[in-house]
Structure 1
Amino acid sequence: MTNVGTTSSPELLLAPLMARIRARDEDAFRELYDLTQARVTRVVAATTRSPEHSAEVVQEVYLYVWLNAATFDAVQGSVYAWLLMLARRRAVDRVRHVVRSNLRDQRDAAESDRDVPDVADLGVARHEAGRLRAALERLTTVQRDAVVLTFIDGHTHEQAARLLSVPVGTLKTRVRAGVLSLRQHLAAPAA
């Protein structure tokens, strides 16, 4: 009988504190914090595994309690259950945020490394672009239009055929002939 009374006694203390906290009683809030913070901190620390993040999450939990004490419903569960649920959710949210942030930082770092082109690569790219422009100029107008629409502008064969007002088969023939001609021009040694 004594065990039952001692296990529920913290909860018997907490429920009236919540009613006083709803009425903005700061002493009740301090008392609730003193009675529960060790358990809340353990739950948060087990999830975040970071003292800095744990301290911030515990602070967020108790700020939420102060601002939203009216949302606590004793019918739904005990004060401890409510606090620990808040603590777990906030801790998991923090871990997810940190993981997403780290992944974003890694991706941004990788992209910034790739974004800096080598000067030699730029020279080669300009030279190749010039050769491609010259090879495109050697195509017939209908071949050039078909190649540009499908390969450079990114239209599907159907879209390009509609734009040029030709059957899809005709467009494909023009693209094939244009690409073959481009290969021949580009395969020739640069002068």
Structure 2
Amino acid sequence: MTLDVLPSQQSVHAVLLEGVQRGEEAAFRDLYDLTRARVHQVVLATTRSPEHAAEVVQEVYLYVWLHATTFDADRGSVLGWILMLARRRAVDRVRHVVRTNRREQRDAASTALTVPDVADLGLARHEAARLRGALQHLSELQRDAVVLTFLGGYTHEQAAVLLGVPLGTLKTRVRAGVMRLRHRLEAPAA
């Protein structure tokens, strides 16, 4: 007895497969009903995914319907043949999923490391040039205060100490400088 199937079940499977080989839909339906639970169990154990298992079971039975004539009784039982097809397809599905996940991870990693678009670089350079030009129109005191606090990353308190001015004075210079920059940058580019 192969695969916990009684000899009478083996002969029923064989008779049904012969009907499938002749294109009998009723024979296929009966063979499916008799074997699908076992096939699903084997596929689910391999894929560990109900969604993938359902798809693989469908593929297996489609193959059985289309290629029933390739079954060789000298090589084993009908159920053994169907379960072998199921295991192979399930392993193929797992391999495909693993490859797809690796490819997606690799693509995500390479996307994160891609070189910026040339147009984006050009735009950034243009904006940086406009900012440098606008900074030239500030007084030296305002420029130093704005550059330290906005571009240098210093807090207002740190910038005040570095420039040797009271905190209120620094804040006034930053506020006036930012207003002049905003006015210059909002004006249409010449």
Report the secondary structure of 2:59's partner residue: helix
Cα distance between partner residues in 1 of 2:30 and 2:101? 37
Cα distance between partner residues in 2 of 1:51 and 1:72? 28
Q: Which residue of 2 aligns with 1:50?
A: 49
Matches within 5 A, 1:114-153: 114-117=113-116
Q: Which residue of 2 aligns with 1:110?
A: 109
Cα distance between partner residues in 1 of 2:59 and 2:23? 17
Q: Give runs of ≥4 in structure 1 deviating > 2 Å.
A: 116-119
Q: Which runs of 5+ in 1 are unaligned?
A: 1-5, 124-191
* AA aligned opposite 1:58: V
* AA aligned opposite 2:56: V
> CA 1:118–1:28 in structure 2 vs 1: closer, same or farther (change >3 Å)?
closer
Deviation at 1:9, TM superposition (A): 1.6
Cα distance between partner residues in 1 of 2:117 and 2:91? 42
Cα distance between partner residues in 1 of 2:46 and 2:64? 20
Q: Which residue of 2 aligns with 1:19?
A: 18
* AA aligned opposite 1:86: L
Cα distance between partner residues in 1 of 2:14 and 2:82? 12
Cα distance between partner residues in 2 of 1:83 and 1:118? 53
Deviation at 1:8, TM superposition (A): 1.4
Cα distance between partner residues in 1 of 2:27 and 2:68? 12
Matches within 5 A, 1:64-83: 64-83=63-82
Cα distance between partner residues in 2 of 1:11 and 1:52? 29
Cα distance between partner residues in 1 of 2:83 and 2:53? 13
Instruction: Provide Cα deviations, 1:51-85, integer angstroms capped at 9, x if missing partner.
Output: 00000000000000000000001111100110000
RMSD (Å), alpha carbons = 2.0
Structure whose CA Rg is larger: 2
Deviation at 1:117, TM superposition (A): 4.0
Q: TM-score scaled by structure 1?
A: 0.58
Cα distance between partner residues in 2 of 1:107 and 1:101? 10
Q: Which residue of 2 aligns with 1:153?
A: none
Report the secondary structure of 2:64's partner residue: helix
Deviation at 1:28, TM superposition (A): 0.1
Deviation at 1:10, TM superposition (A): 1.1
Deviation at 1:118, TM superposition (A): 9.8
* AA aligned opposite 1:8: P
Cα distance between partner residues in 1 of 2:61 and 2:21? 13
Cα distance between partner residues in 2 of 1:109 and 1:9? 55
Report the secondary structure of 2:73's partner residue: coil
Number of aligned residue pairs: give it. Answer: 117
Report the secondary structure of 1:30's partner residue: helix
Cα distance between partner residues in 2 of 1:37 and 1:14? 12
